[in-house]
Structure 1
Amino acid sequence: MAAPGSSPAFDGMYSQLIDDDAAEEDVRRRPGVGHVQPVSPVGLTSRPYRLATICLAALCAILLISIIAVSAHYKNKPQGSSEVAPEIQKMTQDGNVSSLAATIKKLQEEKNQLQKENAKLLARLAATKAPEVVKTSPPVVCPKDWHFFNNSCYLISRGSRDWQESQSYCRSKGAHLAIIHTAEEQTFLWDLLPRGHWNSFWFGITDAQTEDQWKWVDGTPLVGGFWEVGEPNNHINEDCGYIVKTNVLERVAIRSWYDAPCSMDLPYICEKEMGASTAVPQ
């Protein structure tokens, strides 16, 4: 029986050796021969060589089977799946480690740079959020006999002049006849005026240019006002406005304006805008 996986050549060699031994034994035991013929020395000597030949053939067969099996194993293995030699693996690993180390170093440098830029940005942000130093202006000080209200100084005169002369005097002091826009300002000035039989004071309003079109001394038109009931009435060509404060307690600040001829001599009220940063020594 042929060994599994053996070639026809080795099978023939093995069969021939078996047949030769059988023929020799047959000759020795052939019928009709009265005695067993002695075996020739040549036959006795060649038997060990035939046994060695048989063993050699078997080893060759085993080797051939191993070669075929290994060839079949590598033939059936997918393309490109062969194992990398240890040296190549080591070289590849060393290269990967070097590349990874270089990448880590680069990332560390970028991190340090970003940290520096972040610190600069935080410093700028802190500077923008720093509390602003408020420059305090010196307090507004009005000249002697002037009274401060809402960034303006007011003078209640002791002498009397007509409306135009009163305006000229105020200008000589860097001021003008008072311009009154709010009830608070009107009440403040009213409280400064003394009571009397008919105490009246010029302030900065006139309709001398166009009748019934009242304007302030800065040229702006009057809006609203604090006229007494029935005023202004232009009774005798009355083109200038004044404030009246009497002994009648029922009179109130917000109804105290009258019109009168601009030629009358009356006390007056001057106003000087100071501003928050202006200081005027007494």
Structure 2
Amino acid sequence: MPADAPVREQTATFRPVAEGMEQHVNVYHPVLDHGFVAVKDYMGDDVSVLQMARMSYGKGTKSLADDRALLRYLMRHLHTSPFEGCVIKLHVKLPIFVMRQWVRHRTASLNEYSARYSIMPDEFYLPEPAQLAVQSKDNKQGRGDTLSPEQAAEVLRLLREDAQRSFGTYHKLLNADEDGNPIEEDGFGIARELARIGLPVSAYTQMYWQTNLHNLMHFLRLRADPHAQYEIRVFAEKILEIMADWVPVTTEAFRDYQLEAARVSRMEIALLRDLLAGKASIADAASYGMGTREIREFQTRFGV
């Protein structure tokens, strides 16, 4: 926890309490080299989802009386509104370029550290050598083979020097160090909102991010996916671990029916049926209206 974080006195509550989640409140889990994720507050638990669902279904839930079965039914059939009754608020510290991916998920409330009002700390992200790779040849968004140790060391040197140079310029423009103390008597001292414009996207920022459980799962379905960029995926994976302690039955169903499941297109269903019936082979996939990349993904997904 940051040194200046206020400590709230523990009080009795009548609201639902998830014992697993209580272990995460105000616990700062490190992510990447300088980042973290911490739960600041939450509302609801697995039972809260059930209460929301049964309010909607009324007497129609007798055949789904088992709590776990009902939660899994909701997830399986994409009845998402009951999950909106649970809410989580996170404190996240992350590189700016990761933040730019994160805010693409617009179904949340957030407040970010402002470099208009405050001086940015001299912290920037440097990848681990194992994460340094060339551009993928068949995926415009992905990475290919990793660099050699010698190449990785040179890339890290360049990244470090560029970031240090940018922060040096930042402080010279501000005429202030990290604590706001003047550096020179006749320095520029330009406005913070202007001095920040040369900082790299590797610089760290912070935010409070609040969202409901339905939208959290949408975020995790995309960002905890193996194809997501590593630097945001590690945050998503940590949040998924926290979610498992908060709503364990929901998390199990989420993994089974969304995160580790596969969507199947109309063409794939038709091809699968004919493959199982012995009426087609994978060589016939194009005749079902599937493109080259779709066929490759189909083969990877089903091992055919």
TM range (shorter): under 0.3
State the TM-score, normalizing by the size of structure 1.
0.22
**Structure number with larger C-alpha Rg:** 1
Greater helix content: 2
- Normalising by structure 2, we get a TM-score of 0.20
